[in-house]
Chains A and B, each alone.
Chain A
Amino acid sequence: NAGVTQTPKFQVLKTGQSMTLQCAQDMNHNSMYWYRQDPGMGLRLIYYSASEGTTDKGEVPNGYNVSRLNKREFSLRLESAAPSQTSVYFCASRPAAGPFTEAFFGQGTRLTVV
């Protein structure tokens, strides 16, 4: 079982470049999330999608956009990368059964902006 797959695993960008982080899940989950992880800050929610066709801002949405392409895929786009966006990015998904459901995480994308 693949679970949640993130691509790429590593990326180095120059300031001002754009890129899209891809996330796909094969568990038929309704909800998907994007987080960034920084030392001492824990995981901070960037955007989430409660169901196909909907997206909402999280705690730190500035500088990012998302697309819920279909039920399986949820992409995160950096239009003009900044050094402050250097971080490890995690995608997660949850089934629609309720707020007590477990989130499943991808392995992360380590992004460096120089």
Chain B
Amino acid sequence: AQSVTQLGSHVSVSEGALVLLRCNYSSSVPPYLFWYVQYPNQGLQLLLKYTSAATLVKGINGFEAEFKKSETSFHLTKPSAHMSDAAEYFCAVSESNQGGKLIFGQGTELSVKP
């Protein structure tokens, strides 16, 4: 079964610093990977997705993620953190069949210090 593991349940950075949130996947077939963000008391919204078209994927709000098959990773980065980036971030993997399961990681809470 496909799964994702997020390393670090909580990450704290200073405003303007690099953001790095880690995600590793387990899949026997090419994965379809996603990053979602959840702001307090809200549902989840899509940041970006990997669909094999390009290994470096750009998303909203200046975030990007790089797919590395050799490391089975799909880490999320942002060069310069902003206070508004404070939220919980989830990595997810989709089954390859249409309408299949969408499985989420444990989540990483990002705090941004002024």
Q: How far is the CB of A7 from chain B (nearest CB, A)?
A: 14
Residue of A nearest to B104 (CB): A43
Which one of A33, A41, A106 contacts B106 once the chains associate, using CB atoms below 8 Å? A41
Q: How far is the CB of B38 from chain A (nearest CB, A)?
A: 9
B67 at the interface (CB under 8 A from A): no
* Pair A105/B101 contact, Cβ less than 8 Å: no
Q: How far is the CB of B97 from chain A (nearest CB, A)?
A: 7
A interface residues, tally (CB under 8 Å) = 30
* Pair B43/A105 contact, Cβ less than 8 Å: yes
> Using Cβ atoms and an 8 Å threshold, which residues of chain A touch B99?
30-31, 50-51, 94, 96
> Using Cβ atoms and an 8 Å threshold, which residues of chain A touch B63?
none
A74 at the interface (CB under 8 A from B): no
Which one of B6, B9, B32, B46 contacts A99 once the chains associate, using CB atoms below 8 Å? B32
- Taking residues whose C-beta sits less than 8 angstroms from the other chain, chain B's interface range is 20 to 34
Task: Say whether, besides A40-B9, A42-B107, A43-B90, A103 and B42 are in contact (CB < 8 Å).
Answer: no
> Using Cβ atoms and an 8 Å threshold, which residues of chain A touch B49?
100, 102
Interface bits A1-37 vs B (CB < 8 Å: 1, else 0): 0001000000000000000000000000011010100
Interface residues of chain A, those whose CB is within 8 Å of chain B, are: 4, 30-31, 33, 35, 40-45, 48, 50-51, 58-59, 90, 92, 94, 96-100, 102-103, 105-108
Question: What are 29 A-B pairs at a CB distance below 8 A?
Answer: A4-B43, A33-B102, A35-B104, A40-B106, A40-B107, A42-B90, A42-B104, A42-B105, A43-B90, A45-B103, A50-B99, A51-B99, A58-B101, A59-B103, A90-B43, A94-B99, A97-B98, A98-B98, A99-B32, A99-B98, A99-B100, A100-B32, A100-B51, A102-B34, A102-B49, A105-B44, A105-B45, A108-B41, A108-B42
